[in-house]
Structures are given as C-alpha cells and as structure tokens.
Amino acid sequence: MSVPVVEPLGPSTLAKKWRIDILTVPSPDGGTTPDVWTRLRGVTALTINDEVTSETTSDYDGDGWASSQNTSRSWGLEPTVRRATDPDDPAQYDAGQEFLRLNAATLGCDTSSVVVRYYEVNCETGPQVQAYQGSTSVAYKEQAGAPADLSTAVITLSGQGPRADITHPLAV
C-alpha cells in the first residue's frame, strides 16, 4: 500500500489580522444615509469567545454510550487596548475606545447596547472571509500596572443574542 502525498498548508495567518468596528452613529433614515462605523484602535490582544452549552441526552437505550445535544450558544470579544490619544487631537483619547468606555457606564435597555462588527484583515492578498456583527453589552476595566508600564484597558463585549455572518466590509 502506498502512502498518500500530503501537501503542506500555505502561509500562516497572523493573530493581528482582526479588526473591530463600532457602530457609533446609526443611519437616521434607515439606510439612505450610511451608518458611521468607528474603528477600535490600539488593540494589543484579542480573545474571541464562541461558547456552546450542551445538555446530556443519555439514556438506557444508548448501551452505555453517552450523548448530548447543543442547546445554546454565546459569543463575545475581549480586546485589550493600549490607551492612546487620537492622532488628530492629542488632547482626546481614541474615539473608539472612548465610545466604549463611556457606554460601559450606562445602564438600561437601549443605552447599554453597542453594535460591533469584527472581521479579518490579513494583508492585501490574505483571506478576507470571516466577518461578523452583533449587539453587545460593554464592560471596561482600566489596567494601571507598574510605574513604567503603558496604560491599557480590557474591554469585554458580551453578545446580546445572535452573532450574524455579514458580507466582509472590505469586499469590493
């Protein structure tokens, strides 16, 4: 029996391939005027959460084999950002970071939800396949660190309902 030849995978993608945008100004007229998306800048690390909850469906009929069924999903993002000023206005923090920081302090149904989209941007020739969008709640935690450390913050974006696959924002 001959051993099949296995072709190696192509180049690896980089962890920094993800971009996060925040819907800061929804279209006031339902789409004639475009939405305003603000990029979250200064991301130094990103955890993408996609959790599945399953419940056992095991019974005596399985002859000792366990079984389970997925019953719910949750999603979220946890970017760590380098606190930085806006390149156009050094007296202000990055607009995306500030939008999330201020929103994290709000409570209530409509005021505490933020729509985000995240998608891969891996070089000009790399894949631009994955793109998602959904509503999230925001938690914001400033990280002080040691005297010589840079100021960072951890932002937790917890999905509220489904995360949708979307057309890649950079698709032509």
- How is the chain split into domains, by residue range? 19-53+67-165
| Whether the Cβ atoms of residue 87 and residue 163 lie closer than 8 Å to each other | no
pLDDT reported for residue 109: 63
Chain-centroid distance of CA 120 in Å reads 10
Per-residue pLDDT at 124 exceeds 80 = no
In this structure, are strands 89-93 and 131-143 parallel, antiparallel, or unpaired?
unpaired
Q: What percent of the chain has pLDDT over 70?
A: 95
Q: What is the SS3 assignment for 32?
A: coil
Where are the strands (E) in the chain, listed by range? 18-25, 36-39, 43-56, 68-82, 85-86, 89-93, 113-120, 131-143, 152-159, 164-165
Could you read off the pLDDT of 125-159 as tens digits, one per residue? 677 889 999 999 999 999 987 888 889 999 999 99
Per-residue pLDDT at 111 exceeds 90 = no
Calpha distance 19→137 (Å, rounded): 18
pTM of the model: 0.85
Calpha distance 156→70 (Å, rounded): 25
- The stretch 48-60 carries a mean pLDDT of 94
Per-residue pLDDT at 98 exceeds 90 = yes
Q: pLDDT-derived band of residue 55, with 50, 70 and 90 as boundaries?
A: very high
pLDDT, greater one: 124 or 153: 153
Could you read off the pLDDT of 32-47 as tens digits, one per residue? 888 999 999 999 999 9
Per-chain mean pLDDT for the chain: 89
pLDDT reported for residue 130: 92
- The stretch 105-125 carries a mean pLDDT of 81
Q: pLDDT-derived band of residue 110, with 50, 70 and 90 as boundaries?
A: low
Calpha distance 137→116 (Å, rounded): 10
